[in-house]
A and B are shown apart, each in its own frame.
Chain A
């Protein structure tokens, strides 16, 4: 009886059919699994968007190809719930071009492994790493990125925020450079002279961190430590003490660099010690307020100056036409006539001929053009130099200003620091613009398109169908 069943034609066909089905499906699944889960799949993806939204620049490719140590990328989210397609694609590009040095992305679901952060990144849980953050790690160095780091935000006249660009590549390239760097330069924000407080410059500090600078604070009451690379003075309003001047000069004389930003003072207080330091670089801080009258170079008020940007080592990587800044209430910078052979001065920002300044001490008026910012480099012995930047405005890098008029100023500061640190190969990756192609439609053409698409075309198609059907029915 049993033997009859096995000899039956239906059993033969049935078993043949089942085996064949299983084999065919298994082969197809295998092919797809091999393609999908191997490294090949990452190389078979092509970004065909017009502005290469999901691709990284040649600079980043070169940087990642030259890595000599492993970099791991952790995305602190389950793979299925992480939806930032641009981050996924950009990380993919680093992995593809990283010659095996860039490992990841490794998705970590913190709901399933809640102790992962404390075990791997932050035993004391003080770094504020959260779900959705991305950790870039190389050895003991790590950098945490979050969605804020990926967005370029611009603000309209009324203070409304709008995401205008994506800087995913910028953030990852910077993070990879930072965690693989032999040494990360540290910028020390000096306090003790009425400078802007730390929480008034938080956006600038974030930008500096994103560009591989550590940010610390310092007072000049004791000698400047050897590990300090750059001193940053965010608009001191009172002068240096004698001992502080000595400490500053000692730092500069051993090749230290410094950035000085000064707003227009509300009190008529002279800053002779600061000017003493500047005089060594043939620069001088004036006690005035500059007004611009050339219509293309101010915004609404004559004191809201859009400065002319001079081509220097600082600005040659930037595009001043797009990276325009406004300097609200600026003071001018003077050049001392003293001619020093070991000194090189470059103008950074300036006004047009059609500008004036009012001396806050005497009320005397002078006529432009004026310098609003300058760079000075002093040779100190063989292969050593000290560089300073002096700008007659600091408001343009404060959080309040940035929230109203954008953070282009931070890019100039980063570029100044890169010049000081001689980061000649620095990758200045521009943000990917989110500007989308506009549609030039009048209200009339909008109505026309609406009727054409929702009524005329569908009715013509359905009408044709009915005509064909009725005609065939009556044949």
Chain B
């Protein structure tokens, strides 16, 4: 698993994709950040917080679109499927590689709280909580992206599936409020954005952490099942 993680992680940084993603993310988020500085407050504004999550809708599909699609296209998928490594380790390796790139992006974005720290006394605990929420949200989104990538060999299709899925996921609370009833309750329960906003307000909810990690585990598991099916269907 570690070998796959290392290989995929390096491949992200051997091509310009990770650099461009991180660079664009920092550039666009900086516009929101500088705008929020005008309020004269040493804290992330709610606008900045929601922009961070909104940016993930675009970052994650690009980050994960090549996880399995690339192997399919280049023919290395057969090697992976027939290798002695367990499929769960393959999937986990690829998932963790994408997550590691996301963590690098998150680490670079620490430049924002650093600016707040230089020019003010921000509430460090709330910033920590906001970043925890952001990382958990990223982990959930990446699991969906990796799953979408295992469904198709076309990277663009994988990215579109991921984007549509994530967009739907983030709209659950809106849809839930319209639908109402039991379905509405279930959709509200699944509403990640509400949980993310709670983290960003400074509330750490252990059940939310377990929930988001569980969601990521489910999608990683589903990805394993998809590849498992391919393995036995190909004989």
Residues of A within 8 A of B (CB): 9-10, 13-14, 17, 20-21, 24-25, 28, 31-32, 35-36, 40-41, 44-50, 53-54, 78-81, 85, 89, 109, 112, 436-441, 445-446, 449-450, 453-455, 457-459, 461-462, 464-466, 468-469, 472
Contact = CB atoms under 8 A, between A and B. Distances in A.
Given A28-B218, A36-B189, A78-B180, A45 B27 contact: no
A474 to B, nearest CB: 13
A54 B207 contact: no
Interface stretch (B48-56, B77-85, B123-131, B144-152): B123-131
B10 to A, nearest CB: 11
Contacts, number: 177
Nearest to B35: A450
B40 A438 contact: yes
A439 B119 contact: yes
B143 to A, nearest CB: 13
B123 A437 contact: yes
Contact of B41 (A46, A112, A437, A468): A437
Contact of A32 (B17, B22, B197, B214): B214
A50 B126 contact: yes
- Taking residues whose C-beta sits less than 8 angstroms from the other chain, chain B's interface range is 35 or more
Interface string B151-188: 00000000000000000000001001100100011001
Contacts of A438: 40-42, 120
17 contacts: A13-B232, A17-B225, A21-B222, A24-B221, A46-B205, A48-B128, A48-B129, A112-B180, A439-B119, A440-B119, A449-B37, A453-B33, A457-B23, A457-B27, A458-B24, A461-B108, A465-B16
Given A44-B206, A437-B43, A438-B41, A462 B16 contact: yes
B232 A9 contact: yes
A46 B206 CA distance: 8
Given A17-B229, A28-B214, A454-B34, A85 B19 contact: no
Contact of A31 (B177, B184, B202, B210): B210
A400 B217 CA distance: 60
B103 interface: no
A136 to B, nearest CB: 23
Contacts of A44: 205-207
A158 to B, nearest CB: 19
A462 B204 contact: no
Contacts of B211: 32, 35-36
Interface string B1-30: 000000000000111111110111011001
Contact of B120 (A40, A45, A437): A437
Nearest to B34: A450
A466 B16 contact: yes
A468 B123 contact: no
B22 A45 contact: no
A459 B17 CA distance: 14
B135 interface: no
A21 B221 CA distance: 8
A465 B111 contact: no
B201 A54 contact: yes
B228 interface: yes
Contacts of B128: 48
B52 to A, nearest CB: 14
Contacts of B201: 49, 53-54, 85
Contacts of B177: 78, 80-81
Given A49-B202, A439-B116, A462-B20, A41 B207 contact: yes
B198 interface: yes
Nearest to B204: A46
Contacts of B33: 453
B202 A53 contact: yes
A441 to B, nearest CB: 5
